[in-house]
Chains A and B, each alone.
Chain A
Amino acid sequence: MAEAINPEEYQFPSIYNFPPFFTRQINQQVWNSQLGSWADLITSYCRHHRIWRLDATNDYTGLFENKLLKRKVRPDTIRDILDHLVASGQAMWTDPETIKSTSAKDSTAISSSRYLRQPAGILVLWQSLDDWAAILSQWLADTGHPKGSVLTLYELLEDEESRVPALIGMDRQLFGAVATKLVAKGSAVAMRDGNGGLVGLKTC
């Protein structure tokens, strides 16, 4: 997924080498600051590597385990950290609908309540939706697309000739949310296929 690989290695913050960072702290203020440190780490790590999604399929990119220290964050604590990211506007749930259906299906197999609280996936907003929307409108203005130009998702995100540099490889769901912002501002119209899926934008 990371198409523009950042040549420089990511510098982990020093707290990542502090063993108790991987255990949920009891004191509420300490826990709040711990949550803040996790949020900073996740957003800066994802920005560095241009990672859009964190979920079980990519093992949360391994971020919640420090192999050197042999420490890892418990799944229910991961869920709390993701909750915090979403609540503080630094992430969005990936497709909330599917979370419900999978947990309902799997609950027959495993009844542990911790499993039910198994973290879902998030889209990491290392740039806010408004910022992404502003970047996209700026690009549309700078490149002088006339009113009524039609741009497909492929053209916007993939095609080397036409793509928006800042948005290269952007997750489609995230792009959908950015597009919605743009549509709300009246600077574009969403073009959809028969199933209502976003296929492109028409400038206006």
Chain B
Amino acid sequence: MKRGVGLAAFDHKQRETQKYSDIGATLLQRQSDNLNTQLSVFQSALSNFAIGHAHEIRTNAQFRNEFSKMCSAIGVDPLVSSSNKKSSIWASLLGKEVNDFYFQLAVKTVEICQKTRDQNGGLISIEEVRKRLKKSNSNTSVNDVEDADIERAIESMSVLGQGLDIVILGHKKMIRSVPGDLNRDHYKVLEACEVLGYVTVTMLLDNFEWESLRGLTVLDDMVASGLLWVDHQADETEYWAPSWID
């Protein structure tokens, strides 16, 4: 027997669709509840872990690093504030202290960048920052840091704008604190400097096939902006990267 071909059939169909979507919604709801429970269980486990090990996270650089890696592996960025909360996960899990750790580290890093800017033209290796942090030593809370901590501290400040960023030269990570018009030629020269500490016009000609005028223009430009130091007492004028001072 054929079922209703009248107008009522439309109603029926609509009811059916409604039911399906209701079931769908319930399923989704259940799944999402499940996930939420899992997530909150997980979060509280993470939280317990973090609280239980707060001291180690604060004082042990290697431990802190592993914890960070764990967080990022599961897609939690402990430093970035989540949209519905005022404070970051570091802050909410560990109290203010660990969050403050990175904040302090960021402030110290900025201070070092500013203090050395005249000497290095606003480009300093993370390694150098770490060494200087260790030397200054006055503040014990940012004593034992690894390069990754500094990197994290800088990334945490990216919300503040374009003031600081990390650039890679050869195999070295550098912090750049000058609002950048570093072009590709500048980078090439700085990378070339990583080998001997300096370059000459001839070296640029030999390695990059830059004609003398181009090489000289780039180098003069970089000397004028403080990115390179010039040595007129060599056989051929040498252009040195200030990162080689230390």
Contacts and interface: CB of A to CB of B under 8 A. Distances in A.
Interface of A: 14-15, 18-23, 25-27, 29-30, 32-34, 37, 70-72
B246 interface: yes
B224 A20 contact: no
Contacts of A20: 229-231, 238, 240
A14 B226 CA distance: 19
A33 B232 contact: no
B119 A27 contact: no
28 contacts: A14-B246, A15-B245, A18-B229, A18-B245, A19-B231, A19-B238, A19-B240, A20-B231, A20-B240, A22-B231, A23-B230, A23-B233, A25-B223, A25-B229, A26-B223, A27-B121, A27-B224, A29-B117, A29-B226, A30-B119, A30-B121, A30-B229, A32-B118, A33-B119, A34-B119, A37-B119, A70-B233, A71-B233
Contacts of A71: 231, 233
Chain B contact residues: over half helix, strand or loop, or mixed? Answer: mixed
Contacts of A25: 223, 229-230
A22 B233 contact: yes
Contacts of A70: 233
B74 to A, nearest CB: 43
Given A23-B232, A25-B229, A71-B231, 7 more contacts: A19-B233, A22-B233, A27-B226, A30-B121, A33-B118, A34-B119, A37-B119
Given A18-B240, A18-B245, A33-B119, A26 B230 contact: yes
State the 4 A-B residue pairs at the shortest beta-carbon distance, nearest first: A20-B229, A33-B118, A20-B231, A29-B118
